[in-house]
Amino acid sequence: MAVVTQVLRSEWTKIKSVRSTVWTLGLAVVVTVALGALISALSKNEFDKLSTREKLTFDPTFTSFAGMGLGQLAMIVFGVLVVSNEYSTGMIRTSLAAVPQRGTFLFSKITIATLLALVVSMITSFVAFFVGQAMLGSHKAALGDPGVLRAVIGGGLYMTLITVFSMGVATMLRSPMLSLGILMPFFFLISAILGNVSATKKVGQYLPDQAGQKVMQVVTFDDDAPYGPWGGFAIMVVWVVAALICAYVLLKKRDA
């Protein structure tokens, strides 16, 4: 236990001593809240022009999370940097020499980064919600409305899991450029294409981001997804766990 505590402290020191990781977290908050507020304000101005069907399916809570698409970009970068900075500088050899237990090393790094990401993500989700609802005016939702609190908490959990998934991938690939080169197109191009093309839509529904985003939705009118909010969240958890297991296996078997 004493060893684990020391490694946890070491990982915390590593994270806070690298400015780029701190900046990415701050950027995630600013981008998510600002873009969500902008989209919410535009939605309020255009609401009267919507069709009856569009008004029925309008989700004020999910609208305030419109900035999470870009906010998760910063969280992905954070997750990748937390892991791959040591590989790019060669410090990983020193770290593994000091902590030869691969499981303890990976667990400590993931734990500290996850806790930090969770705090930032929860703050971001709640602030984005309240600012977004203020911009929506009379079309806003209240935190006490059915499903709203679940969606807001889910928004924080979603961004946290995106970060952890990125850390798992970065541990497997060891290269920051390669990790970002795969994760960025995956979440911002491939996933969107698979989810919007009728021939591949059923496959896209089971990708981590599309499944995970269901937990942030309150209005699910005419939704053909074969799972609910927490079902989608569970699918995302499976992706994250799989990434961490693969990361541990590869870290244990190969040289640093």
Q: Note whether 64 and 132 are within 8 A (CB).
A: yes
| Segment 53-56 long-range contacts (CB within 8 Å, at least 24 positions apart) | 56/221
* For residue 226, pLDDT beyond 80: yes
pTM for the whole structure: 0.92
Section 88-92 average pLDDT? 77
Q: What is the mean pLDDT of the chain?
A: 89
Closest CA to 163 of 79, 223, 255: 79
- pLDDT value of residue 2: 67
- For residues 256 and 86, give the distance between their C-alpha atoms in angstroms, rounded to a whole number: 10
Task: Give the CA radius of gyration of the chain.
Answer: 19
pLDDT digits (tens, 9 = 90+) for 38-86: 999 999 988 888 888 888 889 999 999 999 989 999 999 999 999 888 8
- pLDDT value of residue 233: 95
pLDDT digits (tens, 9 = 90+) for 110-144: 999 999 999 999 999 999 999 999 999 888 999 99
Please give the helix or strand (H or E) that residue 119 lies within, else none: helix 102-136
* For residue 221, pLDDT beyond 70: no
Q: Which of 19-33, 97-111, 163-177, 229-243 bottoms out in mean pLDDT, i.e. has the lowest?
A: 97-111
- For residues 165 and 183, give the distance between their C-alpha atoms in angstroms, rounded to a whole number: 10
- For residues 157 and 173, give the distance between their C-alpha atoms in angstroms, rounded to a whole number: 24
Closest CA to 32 of 60, 64, 61, 58: 64
- For residues 87 and 221, give the distance between their C-alpha atoms in angstroms, rounded to a whole number: 46
The values of phi and psi at residue 145, to 5°, are -65, 155
Q: Note whether 125 and 66 are within 8 A (CB).
A: no
Please give the helix or strand (H or E) that residue 142 lies within, else none: none
Section 224-250 average pLDDT? 92
- pLDDT value of residue 196: 79
Highest mean pLDDT (candidates 113-127, 191-205, 240-254): 113-127
- pLDDT value of residue 197: 81
Q: Note whether 44 and 139 are within 8 A (CB).
A: yes
| Segment 181-184 long-range contacts (CB within 8 Å, at least 24 positions apart) | 183/76, 183/80, 184/73, 184/76
pLDDT digits (tens, 9 = 90+) for 3-50: 788 888 888 888 887 778 888 999 999 999 999 999 999 999 888 888
Q: Note whether 163 and 113 are within 8 A (CB).
A: yes
Coil/strand/helix, residue 90: coil
- pLDDT value of residue 85: 80
* For residue 167, pLDDT beyond 90: yes
Section 184-198 average pLDDT? 85
Share of the chain above pLDDT 70, in %: 97
Q: Which of 51-55, 123-127, 216-220, 239-243 bottoms out in mean pLDDT, i.e. has the lowest?
A: 51-55
- For residues 238 and 234, give the distance between their C-alpha atoms in angstroms, rounded to a whole number: 6
